Structure 1
Amino acid sequence: MMSGHEFGGGCLCGGVKLKVKGNPLTAGICHCESCRKWHAAPFNTWALWRNESVEITQGEDLLQGYDSVSSHRFWCGNCGSGLLNRKPHGGTVVYAMVLAESGYKHDPSCHIHCDESVYEVKDGLPHYVDLPEKWGGLGETVLA
């Protein structure tokens, strides 16, 4: 882990490396179909950062991308690791926490998009049908 409020991370093959500074705005666990497909996993652990907090330090030329209305997703073109999800509105980046160097920890605050869940996690955190109200969602929770 890097010193202070910085940490590094990167893709499986090591071709792309990132540095993240400061503390995330929030962190959570997403169960949406898009995240599940992107990470080939039952859910995605993520943290939300301001754009200026995330720096690609190596391998920017390896990045491949896919754009949708709500996301600009980037992955390593060599190994396929999902790396970043830049949000076109709000100046933020979603960083998949599985890419962080060992030793970095930031506890999730909630589960989101649980209406699309394929795997139930019972951890005592709020489980939102879509998103919390403060993030533009319905704010409805489901029991887990």
Structure 2
Amino acid sequence: MSDQKSYSGRCFCGAVGIVATGEPATMGYCHCASCRHWSAGPVNAFTLWQPHTVRVTKGGEHVENYQKSDTSVRKFCELCGGHLYTDHPTWGLTDVSAVLLPDLDYVPALHINYQESVLPIRDGLPKYRDMPVEMGGSGDLLPE
């Protein structure tokens, strides 16, 4: 039996449940146009997990995919359109939107794709022009 903490979430209508176990690899904000468009907001708050720690616990038959690029396979509920998570196969990580895990203490560590920001955020966190080197980016930082 695992003593790791689990965080439960669900789609908008509640038909699909997910759980993330343990702790995320990192948490932060993405400012890219694709994430903004998908999330319908000026910034996307993400939590990145090892894929084996995120699983569907209910309503798996309602999970649909949308793949716009090689870096992201977005998962959503076919009934309500509610977002669930995004697989990032090139990074070997799964992104669960922070809002879906209400019991997780969200502590962001960085901003990515800040060059595309439409909402400047002055919080003292590193602002990567694109992404850290470990994620295939330049690693270049931008000032607040």
With the length of structure 1 as denominator, give the TM-score of the two structures: 0.91
Contact (CA 8 Å) 2:70, 2:90: kept in 1 or not?
A: no
Distance between the aligned counterparts of 2:26 and 2:51, measured in 1?
A: 14
**Per the alignment, in what secondary structure is the counterpart of residue 46 of structure 2?**
strand
Tell me which residue corresponds to 2:29: 29
Render the CA deviation track for 1:81-129: whole Å, top value 9, x for unaligned: 221111123432111111113x321311100001111111111101111
Letter in 1 for 2:96: Y
Tell me which residue corresponds to 2:66: 66
Paired-residue identity, %: 37
Tell me which residue corresponds to 2:93: 92
Query: Which one is further off, 32-41 or 60-69?
Result: 60-69
Tell me which residue corresponds to 1:79: 80
Distance between the aligned counterparts of 1:70 and 1:91, measured in 2?
A: 10
Where structure 1 has 5 or more consecutive residues not aligned to the other structure, the ranges are none
Distance between the aligned counterparts of 1:87 and 1:48, measured in 2?
A: 9
Contact (CA 8 Å) 2:27, 2:107: kept in 1 or not?
A: yes
Greater fraction strand: 2
Letter in 1 for 2:87: R
1:50-61 matches, cutoff 5 A: 50-61=50-61
With the length of structure 2 as denominator, give the TM-score of the two structures: 0.91
